[in-house]
């Protein structure tokens, strides 16, 4: 198992390098930082534009491979992600925003997965009863909604609740109340409240996807011989389901986790923008509109590492749950 | 964003004898989903392409005498901030979104079938290179790449946007097709064709692809819904269809801020979007139950 995981890790490292270069080349080719500087008032001279671009290592007249070498050299030697178009440090911005996004990503994906697996297992056990049907309909409707629409519905609901109650019921802007006084407890409660809607927007999509898959794999397991054997050994139905049924049924979910993480990253970018969270997603959309190459690359790097980490986690989970993975 | 996900590795399949009645019932249920979904999709297409003849208003014509009016007999969906008829606008947006969804699904599923089948059939280096390419493209959420490239395509119109969406939407399907091809490759009829000296590419097209066609049909159906969702999301954030062109995404973007006060600017477009994707998913799910009895992703 260790050998298998080490092999996967090596492959992921190669993929990561290729992917980051791809992102770098693409961002450099597609974005036009030169136009950003040329549009400044009063209009700077051509020489001064060139100088500024070169200083930021985003001059399109330098070959892209050379720029990439400079950039990756700085990253590998000093952990330096370069400068933004406003000549501030990308690292500082990155450090500020990553925690905002990770909070949302981890909570949203975990909550979606746990709820989805629970709902799917529950639906399978109560197949064709009313509760199962209701869950199926709900997951179907959720699957047919883009995440940004779910987020907008939640936000509009919060606005409507505010108008009806005359005061804010659930916060729908930002991730903390500015100027909040009080101890750590008050801060935590405030964070939790602000997390509620964005996390829910992310988790609902996960819930829909996971529950459908979990339900169908669980149904396969429910009719299986070894479950009957476990019950014949004297385990109660509930214990047999938990110990033997759920474990087998969760295995395919680990593969799903890796793929669905892509969707969650995308969803988080939308959710952040809608709820005015200053996270990675918002930064990305902003950076594209400002032709800020290094910031765009930094967000891509974050996404690539996150996706590969999720993939590796899925591999590890798969290997741990499924004794057949030994090659 | 795609609703299409890889087939989970099949667990041990129970040997439950399926009664004829149960099978027929399951088929019927599937058929019902396909019929209901199909009817909704047809109705929506009719609405999108014939609906404009029901209204005297042009989608782009402003009317400063009727600004932000609620739905009425004159303006069925009300009017927006510059007095344009929301009904005409929504139909126009629906047209665009439907066409984009269909085209993207066709292109991306076709590409996925071809790449997956070639990788699986030829094996060796072809396989390695293609799988590496798939993995590479799967590292980034496609939204990131499309958003980066889309400003470059600003002048190229919406067909370029369709190509871009299709180009980053085929990888997961290609993977599944590849693993299906691996098991098809050693079947007698493929071997026979090979020993008879049929050209490899011809074998892929004539023997492999038809045998994964039911999966591809299901996948293409679900991809329509996924593509429409991607289109609206990208357009919503200004990376897809751009004003003055109208799609459901641009309508939602325009109506968002006013949704709490002027709900008709937002909820008609949102409702039609969800209804369409829901109908497509119903069809896809029903087809999966009907065409693919061995699938471990059976729906209801």
Contact across the interface for B13 and A259, Cβ inside 8 Å: no
* Cα gap B171→A262, rounded to integer Å: 13
Residue B6 lies in a domain: no
Which residues in chain A touch residue B1, judged by CB atoms under 8 angstroms apart? Answer: 146-147, 263, 266
pLDDT at position B12 is 45
Taking residues A268-295, report their average pLDDT.
Answer: 90
Residue B199's domain is classified under what CATH number?
Answer: 1.10.3720.10
Asked, for residue B9, whether it belongs to a domain, the answer is no
Longest dimension (CA), chain A: 85
Phi-psi region for residue B203, left (φ > 0), alpha (ψ -120 to 50) or beta?
Answer: alpha
Given this model, what pLDDT does residue B299 score?
Answer: 37
Give the whole-angstrom CA distance, residue B229 versus residue B96: 13
Domain enclosing residue B167, as ranges = 24-291
* Partner residue facing A307 (CB), from B6, B139, B266: B139
Cα(B53)–Cα(A121) distance, rounded to whole angstroms? 49
Instruction: Please give the Cα distance from A308 to B59 (Å, whole number).
Output: 46
Q: Which residues of B touch A225 (CB under 8 A)?
A: 14
What DSSP element (H or E) covers B169? none
Residues of chain B in contact with residue A216, where contact means CB-CB under 8 angstroms, are 296-299
Which residue is listed with tokens 């990756």? Answer: A72
3-state secondary structure chain A: CHHHHHHHHHHHHHHHHHHHHHHHHHHHHHCCHHHHHHCCCCCCCHHHHHHHHHHCCCCCCCCHHHHHHHHHHHHHHHCCCCECCCCCEHHHHHHHHHHHHHHHHHHHHHHHHHHHHHHHHHHHHCCCCHHHHHHHHHHHHHHCCCHHHHHHHHHHHHHHHHHHHCCCCCCCCCCCCCCCCCCHHHHHHHHHHHHHHHHHHHHHHHHHHHHHHHHHHHHHHHCCHHHHHHHHCCCCHHHHHHHHHHHHHHHHHHHHHHHHHHHHHHHHHHHHHHCCCCCHHHHHHHHHHCCCHHHHHHHHHHHHHHHHHHHHHHHHHHHHHCCCCCC
% of chain A exceeding 90 in pLDDT: 26
At residue B6, the pLDDT reads: 42
Question: How many Å apart are CA A32 and CA B83, to the nearest integer?
Answer: 36
d(CA A133, CA A128): 6
Q: Please identify which residue in the block is written with the tokens 């590409």.
A: B111
A127 chain-B contacts, CB cut-off 8 A: none
The answer to whether the CB atoms of A304 and B139 lie below 8 A apart is: yes
The reply to whether residue A156 touches residue B237, judged by beta carbons under 8 angstroms, is: no
B135 found inside a domain = yes
Nearest CA in chain A to B144: A300
Asked if residue B13 is part of any domain, the answer here is: no
HSE toward the beta carbon, residue B204, CA cutoff 13 A: 18
Does the pLDDT value for residue A210 go beyond 60?
yes
Taking only the tens place, the pLDDT of each residue in A38-96 is 887 778 888 888 888 888 888 888 888 989 999 999 899 888 888 888 888 999 999 99
A2-46: pLDDT as tens digits: 888 999 999 999 999 999 999 999 999 888 888 888 887 778 888
**Nearest C-alpha neighbor of A277 from the set A267, A291, A289:** A267
Query: What domains are there in chain A, each with its CATH number?
Result: 2-326 (1.10.3720.10)
CB atoms within 10 A of CB B128: 11
Give the number of domains in chain B.
1
Residue A89 has φ and ψ, to the nearest 5°, of -80, 130
Q: Is B79 strand, coil or helix? A: strand
Residue B15 forms part of a structural domain? no
B56: Cβ–Cβ under 8 A, 6 or more apart, which residues?
none
Sorted by sequence, the CB contacts under 8 Å of residue B82 that are 6+ apart come out as B62, B63, B64, B67
Smallest CA–CA separation between B286 and chain A, in Å? 13
Q: B-chain residues within 8 Å CB-CB of A310?
A: none
User: Domain for residue B213, yes or no?
Assistant: yes
At B13 the pLDDT is 46
Do B11 and A217 lie within an 8 Å CB cutoff?
yes
Query: A35 contacts in B (CB within 8 Å)?
Result: none
Q: What span, in angstroms and rounded, lies between the C-alpha atoms of A85 and A33?
A: 8
The predicted-structure confidence for B102-127, as pLDDT tens digits, reads as follows 999 999 999 999 999 999 999 889 99
CB contact under 8 A, B8 and A296: no
Q: Give B151 to chain A, closest Cα distance, Å.
A: 7
Q: Is residue B5 part of a domain?
A: no
pLDDT at B9: 42
Task: Give the gap in angstroms from C-alpha A304 to the nearest C-alpha of chain B.
Answer: 6
- Angle among Cα A267, A270, A275 to the nearest 5 degrees reads 120
Q: Which has more confidence, A179 or B5?
A: A179
Which residues of chain B carry a pLDDT beneath 50? 1-16, 295-300
Per-residue pLDDT band at A189 (split at 50, 70, 90)? confident
Buried b (16+ CB within 10 A) or exposed e, B188-198: eebeebeeeee
User: Using CA atoms, how far apart are residues A237 and B41, in angstroms rounded to an integer?
Assistant: 44
Whether B236 and A22 lie within 8 Å, measured CB to CB: no
Residue B4: phi and psi, rounded to 5, are -95, 125
Is the pTM higher than 0.75? The answer reads: yes
**CA A295/CA A279 separation, integer angstroms:** 13
Q: What does the pLDDT average to over A290-314?
A: 91
Q: Kindly determine whether residue B138 and residue A288, on different chains, have CB atoms separated by under 8 Å.
A: no
Instruction: Report chain A's mean pLDDT, rounded to a whole number.
Output: 87
Residue B296: its pLDDT value, please? 44
Q: At what angle do helices A130-143 and A184-222 cross, to 10 degrees?
A: 110
Q: Which two tokens stand for residue B13?
A: 């399949």
């Amino acid at each position: 198992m260790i050998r298998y995981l080490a092999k996967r890790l090596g492959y992921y490292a190669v993929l990561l390098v290729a992917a980051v270069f791809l992102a770098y080349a693409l961002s450099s080719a597609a974005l036009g930082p030169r136009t950003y500087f040329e549009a400044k008032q009063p209009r700077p001279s051509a020489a001064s534009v060139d100088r500024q671009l070169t200083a930021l290592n985003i001059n399109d007249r330098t070959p892209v491979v050379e720029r990439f070498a400079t950039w990756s050299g700085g990253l590998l030697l000093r952990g330096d992600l370069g400068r933004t178009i406003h000549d501030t440090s990308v690292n500082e911005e990155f450090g500020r925003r990553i925690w905002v996004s990770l909070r949302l990503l981890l909570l949203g994906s975990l909550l979606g997965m746990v709820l989805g697996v629970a709902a799917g297992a529950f639906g399978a056990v109560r197949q064709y009863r009313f509760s199962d049907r209701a869950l199926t309909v709900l997951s179907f409707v959720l699957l047919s909604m883009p995440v940004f629409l779910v987020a907008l519905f939640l936000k509009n609901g919060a606005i409507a609740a505010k108008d009806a109650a005359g005061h804010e019921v659930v916060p729908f802007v930002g991730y903390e109340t500015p100027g909040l006084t009080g101890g750590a407890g008050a801060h935590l409660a405030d964070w939790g409240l602000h997390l509620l809607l964005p996390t829910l927007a992310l988790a609902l999509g996960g819930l829909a996807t996971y529950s459908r898959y979990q339900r169908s794999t669980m149904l396969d397991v429910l009719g299986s011989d070894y479950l009957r054997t476990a019950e014949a050994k004297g385990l109660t139905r509930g214990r047999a389901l938990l110990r033997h049924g759920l474990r087998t049924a969760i295995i395919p979910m680990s593969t799903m986790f890796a793929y669905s993480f892509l969707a969650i990253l995308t969803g988080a970018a939308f959710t952040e923008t809608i709820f005015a969270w200053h996270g990675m997603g918002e930064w990305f959309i902003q950076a594209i509109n400002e032709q800020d190459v290094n910031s765009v690359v930094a967000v891509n790097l974050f996404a690539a590492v996150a996706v590969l980490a999720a993939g590796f986690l899925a591999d590890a989970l798969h290997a741990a749950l499924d004794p057949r993975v030994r090659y | 964003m795609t609703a299409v996900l890889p087939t989970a590795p099949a667990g041990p399949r129970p040997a439950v004898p399926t009664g004829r009645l149960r099978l027929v019932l399951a088929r019927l249920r599937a058929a019902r989903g396909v019929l209901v979904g199909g009817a909704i999709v047809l109705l929506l297409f009719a609405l999108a392409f014939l609906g404009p003849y029901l209204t005297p208003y042009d989608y782009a014509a402003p009317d400063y005498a009727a600004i932000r009016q609620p739905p009425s007999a004159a303006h069925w969906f009300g009017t927006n901030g510059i007095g344009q008829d929301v009904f005409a606008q929504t139909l126009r947006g629906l047209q665009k979104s439907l066409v984009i969804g269909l085209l993207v699904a066709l292109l991306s599923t076709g590409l996925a079938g071809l790449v997956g089948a070639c990788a699986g059939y030829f094996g060796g280096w072809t396989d390695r290179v293609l799988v590496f390419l798939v993995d590479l493209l799967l590292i980034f959420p496609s939204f990131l790449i499309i958003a980066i490239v889309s400003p470059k395509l600003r002048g190229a119109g919406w067909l370029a946007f369709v190509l871009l969406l299709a180009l980053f939407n085929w990888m997961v399907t290609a993977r599944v097709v590849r693993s299906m091809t691996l098991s098809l490759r050693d079947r007698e009829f493929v071997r026979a064709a090979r020993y008879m000296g049929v050209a490899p590419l011809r074998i892929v097209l004539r023997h492999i692809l038809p045998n994964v066609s039911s999966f591809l049909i299901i996948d293409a159906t679900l991809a329509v819904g996924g593509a429409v969702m991607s289109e609206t999301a990208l357009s919503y954030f200004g990376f897809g269809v751009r004003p003055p062109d109208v799609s459901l995404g641009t309508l939602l973007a325009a109506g968002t801020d006013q949704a709490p006060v002027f709900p008709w600017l937002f909820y008609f477009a949102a409702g039609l979007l969800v209804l369409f994707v829901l109908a497509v998913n119903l069809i896809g799910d029903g087809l999966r139950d009907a065409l693919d009895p061995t699938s471990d992703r059976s729906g209801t």
